[in-house]
Amino acid sequence: MDPKRNIARNYELAMTTDLFGWTIVERRWGRIGAKGQGCCSSFADRTEAIRLVDAVRRRRASARKRLGVEYTPVRL
């Protein structure tokens, strides 16, 4: 968050397993306080899901360079 630039963003990334054994990767993003956007991807192979999660985390890690503000990782 950068109040001087009015930047308050949120990004959520979650990986779960559904009732049929598929791995679901859910991503949600947007400005804090707004409805935001999101998407879900399902994978029969868990390693493919992990590959997507790793790619997203690498992209988020470069936010400081790209946006000027970094994301704070939170593990629940």
- Token pair, residue 71, equals 């994301």
Q: Is 21 exposed, middle or buried (0-12, 13-18, 19+ CB in 10 A)?
A: exposed
CATH fold, domain 3-63, is q64v53_bacfr protein fold (2.20.140)
Residue 51's φ and ψ, nearest 5 degrees, are -60, -45
pTM: 0.77
pLDDT tens digits in sequence order for the chain, 76 residues long:
556 777 677 889 999 999 999 999 999 988 888 889 999 999 999 999 999 999 998 888 887 777 777 777 777 6
